[in-house]
Structure 1
Amino acid sequence: MSYTIRPEALPHPARPAAPRWPNGFADRLTAPLASFREVVSVLQHGGFRTNIGDADQIPVYRSGLPRPAGTEALITWVGHATYVLQVGGLTVLTDPVWARKIPGIRPRLTPPGVAWSDLPHVDAVVISHNHFDHLDAPTIRRLPKDTAIFVPARLAAWFARRGFRNVAELDWWESARLGEVAFTFVPSHHWSRRTIWDTCKTLWGGWVLTAGNRRIYFAGDSGYGHRFKEIGIRYPDIDVALMPVGAYEPRWFMKNFHVDPDQAVQACLDVGARRMAAMHWGTFVLSGERLLAPIEETRQAWAERGLDPADLWDLAIGETRMLS
């Protein structure tokens, strides 16, 4: 199913459309969620404790945001799962988090790679799911209310309550268009929860952005599984996959919903992407691996497969690459 999103044409949020979603999406889970006992066990055994002594070695390159010339497409890593995508004449933010602190964890280790004041007009935002490290209310409040927002099923109401007037709410494999860019919501192996009462009430996934002959895949959060190959079959010729590589230890606890670096590289191959850009590391402490392990192990997994080093975009926070 496809939609066109135009600020002047959408209904007022006070007049919601008839519901077309189920009450929840637990049936979309690939694996059961962790039990309360398992959560207590991992906390008791220090599974999320990470020594942050290496934080000063996380590369940060904060020199402003370059602007594309002509039809160039630029990709800039802000930190965690936040990218600035300048493609198809639009500026798009992925899972924007500029906050210094999110609930439940220590403050961010590194500053956002792009200052908020350096951003051009933001045309669109894509949200992968509603976890606090991907949907940050203080950052969202900084956006104009007519910003085009693309969200998973049953998440539009969260934005409507905050006054946003231009929200496209999609199921897996559905698409919307803004200007020259098509936004397609695709599956992932993950889950959703914002409070203790709303587990899996909203959907989760990734996004494929297509602008002319350019295609970018933003994976959001995901464990490893069959859906990556499905995405590659439906959307061939992906230029770059923005893949999470961190938050994977302890493995027995994280494996169903977060890829490890080796799996991230394999997932990139599964979707058929020409390049991989790493994310979801070096910003927040969410798990038990060493701070630098995600990018070190990603480089190792890439090299072990004999892949071209130039096609692994192991970006510094704030670094920009151009899609040729």
Structure 2
Amino acid sequence: MKLSMVSAGLLLSACSTPNSVQQQIGGQAVIEQVTEGENQGMYRNLYRPQKGYPDYPVTCDGDCYPAHPAVACKAPAQDCQYTGPQLAPALDSGFSLQWLGHASFLVNTPDGQQLLFDPVFGQFDWPVSWAQHLAGIIKRPYTPKLSTEQLAATDAVLYSHLHYDHFSHASIAQIGTGATYYLPLGMAAYMPKGGYNIVEQAWYSHSQQNELNIHLMPAHHFNSRKLFNDHNQAMWGGWLLEHGGKTLFFAGDTGYSNHFKDIQQRYGDIDICLLPIASYHHEKDGAWYRYVHTTPEDALVAAAELSCKVMIPWGYGNASWQMGDISSHSPLLRLLHMQQQLDSQVPLLILNEGDSVAL
């Protein structure tokens, strides 16, 4: 009993340890917020149509999900593996990565650091994970896993936004306080207490960790964590890593907008682009879903505008959330179809969950 009480006391003490929070706002940083009215102070996207939804450069018509000989499925577009060639261009970037599923990536940098993008070890963070089981929603057969030793080796964690399939208190607890957590502005308030080292950034702001430059990029999305009272109270975004003139861009959840062109104009051609291609489909509200999630053809257009030397898609697969998707691999089938229809010249590197590649 005494040991239990001591352990509980140590746990409570650790949880109450304040976090260290720094903010990067200066230089070329951009902060877009509502300036008046009841929504004053809320963050908002850089590009907003006057009314309705924007026109998109291209939209798939007809049969957008034909079977592909390089995608082997147990059922139509469901429970699939990509079996085609995985052609990694010789970029000599020094970056290597592993796709852990959905939006989660482990990245090793040229200066020997290990980073995690949007690590969520399971489909959702609590309480959505609990509600998922309560509602009887079947868990997907694959969820990303890293060993205790791998997690302990993490130097930095970069989160794009607060949604439960991208930001996880349970995963943060597993990673621990040894890493530096990079977050868009306002997200530090949602971190668990316990002595975490946090850097908050505005769009186009810059931090440096050892030899690595870390930039927060705009995304066209939204942010919330609660059912009420916190809509867009924190910023959202993607991350650009730069080392020795080589760049890796993780777009985060985003719809298509001119922010992709802006990024290329500011930073030049991007070497490695990790772009989402899922959650754009909904029978009742497809226009809204596409507004904040790129279709596969939107991602191909964005990759061309970014002048990506290789595009690695994510969001499809057996670990991915099915909300807003027709099936587990429908986005991948649409991507391969539209790559041909558009005669896209951006090299694609298609991964299965768990695959690793050095670029």
Shorter-chain TM range is 0.7 to 0.9
Match of 1:289 among 315, 321, 326: 326
**1:224 and 1:179 mapped to 2: Cα distance?**
33
Query: Quick check: 1:314 aligned with 2:342?
Result: no
- Indicate the structure (1 or 2) with the bigger Cα radius of gyration: 2
Amino acid at match of 1:273: C
Given that 1:190 and 1:257 are in contact with CA atoms closer than 8 Å, whether structure 2 keeps it comes out as: yes
**How many angstroms does 1:308 deviate by?**
5.3
Match of 1:242 among 265, 269, 274: 274
When residues 86 and 290 of structure 1 are mapped into structure 2, their CA distance, relative to the original with a 3 A threshold, is same
Determine the structure 1 residue equivalent to 2:190.
158
* 1:174-323 alignment runs, 5 A limit: 174-195=205-226, 196-250=228-282, 251-282=286-317, 283-307=320-344, 311-323=347-359
Determine the structure 2 residue equivalent to 1:47.
none
Given that 2:221 and 2:253 are in contact with CA atoms closer than 8 Å, whether structure 1 keeps it comes out as: yes
Determine the structure 2 residue equivalent to 1:65.
none
**How many angstroms does 1:113 deviate by?**
4.7
**2:232 and 2:181 mapped to 1: Cα distance?**
20
**1:15 and 1:123 mapped to 2: Cα distance?**
16
**SS, match of residue 291 in structure 2:** coil
Query: RMSD between aligned alpha carbons?
Result: 2.9
**SS, match of residue 331 in structure 2:** helix
Q: How many residues in Structure 1 have an aligned counterpart in Structure 2?
A: 282
Where do 5+ consecutive residues of structure 2 fail to align?
1-16, 26-30, 34-39, 50-73, 84-91
* 1:92-103 alignment runs, 5 A limit: 92-102=115-125, 103=128
Amino acid at match of 1:322: A
User: For 1:134-186, what per-residue CA distance to the aligned partner results, in whole angstroms no more than 9, with x for missing partners?
Assistant: 10111111112131111000111222x42243111000000111111111001
**SS, match of residue 313 in structure 1:** coil
* 1:44-83 alignment runs, 5 A limit: 55-58=78-81, 72-83=94-105
**1:165 and 1:138 mapped to 2: Cα distance?**
14
User: For 1:22-49, what per-residue CA distance to the aligned partner results, in whole angstroms no more than 9, with x for missing partners?
Assistant: 77434436459xxxxxxxxxxxxxxxxx
* 1:6-17 alignment runs, 5 A limit: 13=18
**2:80 and 2:170 mapped to 1: Cα distance?**
28
Amino acid at match of 1:270: E
Where do 5+ consecutive residues of structure 1 fail to align?
1-11, 33-51, 61-69
**2:336 and 2:287 mapped to 1: Cα distance?**
23
**1:71 and 1:264 mapped to 2: Cα distance?**
22
* 1:119-138 alignment runs, 5 A limit: 119=150, 121-138=153-170
Query: Quick check: 1:85 aligned with 2:107?
Result: yes
TM-score, normalised relative to structure 1 = 0.78
Amino acid at match of 1:98: F
**2:21 and 2:325 mapped to 1: Cα distance?**
42
Given that 1:146 and 1:164 are in contact with CA atoms closer than 8 Å, whether structure 2 keeps it comes out as: no
Q: What's the % identity of the aligned pairs?
A: 25
Per mean C-alpha deviation after superposition, the further-off stretch among 258-267 and 110-119 is: 110-119
**2:20 and 2:144 mapped to 1: Cα distance?**
38
**How many angstroms does 1:272 deviate by?**
1.5
User: For 1:181-221, what per-residue CA distance to the aligned partner results, in whole angstroms no more than 9, with x for missing partners?
Assistant: 11100101100010121000000110100111321000001
User: For 1:265-307, what per-residue CA distance to the aligned partner results, in whole angstroms no more than 9, with x for missing partners?
Assistant: 1111111111100111222212142322101111122233334
TM-score, normalised relative to structure 2 = 0.71
